[in-house]
Structure 1
Amino acid sequence: MLGGKAMKEEPGSLESIQIGSRLRSWRLASGLSLHKVADTSGLSPGYISQVERGLANPSLESLKRLADAVGMRIGDLFVDEGDGSPESSRFFVTKRGMRKQIRYPGSGILNELLTPDLQRQFEAIWVEAQPGATSGGHPHSHAGEECGVVIFGSMRFWVGNADLELAAGDSIYLDSTVPHRWVATGTEPLVAVWMITPPTF
């Protein structure tokens, strides 16, 4: 990822199939039809069906719409059934290369969970994004607070009416209820660490 090569996900890749399978499980568990999710998300039933079968690569924005439509969080895709991590542990070490991760097919974005799971008071995420990769075409908002720091590369960040440029070493704190979005800028991949409380990713 850091070598500057774009991450490429093909239809039917393992990541696409896993994402689609989990979205379908969420929908069925909620007793929702494809048409109901389509009405709520603004996406077509045919497209949703393709996503669920791993035949389409949804954008980050589409994944957010689908997760919202079935009452889940995108971050729940991090959950690894049978993980076995002790909930009562007072500390937890995750070695590099062993983090729970999620790749948004075709988005050029990789997120890795630095905290052990999403059952804590806050979540910390390692973010890698190719130049031009974006959190979505429309600002989003949610309950809580968040703080991020750019480790490498640069990003353009919109929060409310503010239009900001963040370079390596820059950080930002925001009230997450204020609509916000970002895009990786420059010619080098973006690396950042993001912290959110409560976990809402």
Structure 2
Amino acid sequence: MAEPDPVPPPAPGWASVVDAIGPKVRDLRQQAGLSLQQLARRADVSAASVHKVERGDMVPTITTLLKLAEALERPIGHFVDNGAAEPVASVVPAGARPELPSGEPGVHRAGITGPAARFRLQGTITEIDEGGAGADDGPRSGEVLVHVLSGELTFELAGERHVVAAGDTLHYPGDRPARWHATGSGPARAVWLAVRGS
């Protein structure tokens, strides 16, 4: 009578972490709209290496992983966490919006978007006291969108003047310096969104 095949030992705990690296690289590359070649150029590694990492045919060296993490704008910990599935969406409850420093007196910002390590879009609910002012001096790539919920904001942008009242939206390239101030009677409140450039 033949003996039963031995039960294979369980995979070591780190195996699931290693196995998850490739899919995480592929998912982030696709989210960023990059081809294998574009990511390879950005990370200064060969396209063949990126392909092998994504397929799980190669475990990246620490140097390669650091380059990929920088190119994909993620901390290296994103790729080597405990293997637990990261939620697809991020919820910011109204009562738990983080207060963000504004650097401008009379300007109060509360975060409304998910963690910067995972998302390129960053946004706030911004409240500007009557007469309050501020500036986005750049340089940065990407785009900025401001939707005024109440009050009125006036923007000076690349030699243009824009008065943005409640219900209006201003959308502009993020590499243009912008100065703004609350010009209505009373405070202004706006949703402020910025997308980092690639």
Report the TM-score when normalising by structure 2.
0.52
Amino acid at match of 2:105: S
The residue number in structure 2 matching 1:160 is 158
Tell me, what secondary structure is at the counterpart of 2:189? strand
Following superposition, the deviation at residue 88 of structure 1 comes to 2.2
135, 140, 158: which one pairs with 1:142? 140
Tell me, what secondary structure is at the counterpart of 2:95? coil
Check conservation: 2:154, 2:180, Cα contact below 8 A: yes
Q: CA RMSD in A?
A: 2.5
Give unpaired runs (5+ residues) of structure 1: 1-85
78, 91, 94: which one pairs with 1:93? 91
104, 109, 112: which one pairs with 1:111? 109
Amino acid at match of 2:191: V
Give unpaired runs (5+ residues) of structure 2: 1-83
Structure 1 residues 8-19: aligned runs within 5 Å:
none
Amino acid at match of 2:190: A
Percentage identity across aligned positions?
Answer: 23
Amino acid at match of 1:172: L
155, 170, 173: which one pairs with 1:172? 170
Q: Give, in whole Å, the separation in 2 of the partners of 1:128 and 1:107.
A: 11
**Which structure: larger Rg?**
2
Following superposition, the deviation at residue 89 of structure 1 comes to 1.7
Partner deviation per Cα, 1:129-149 (whole Å, 9 max, x = no partner): 10111114x844421111110
Following superposition, the deviation at residue 105 of structure 1 comes to 6.7
Q: Give, in whole Å, the separation in 1 of the partners of 2:188 and 2:94.
A: 18
Indicate how the Cα distance of structure 1 residues 106 and 166 shifts in structure 2: closer, same or farther if over 3 A, else same: closer
Indicate how the Cα distance of structure 1 residues 91 and 168 shifts in structure 2: closer, same or farther if over 3 A, else same: same
The residue number in structure 2 matching 1:196 is 194
Q: Give the number of aligned pairs.
A: 114
Partner deviation per Cα, 1:71-95 (whole Å, 9 max, x = no partner): xxxxxxxxxxxxxxx9922112221
Amino acid at match of 2:168: D
Amino acid at match of 1:158: E
Answer 1 or 2: higher relative contact order, Cα 8 Å, separation at least 6.
Answer: 1
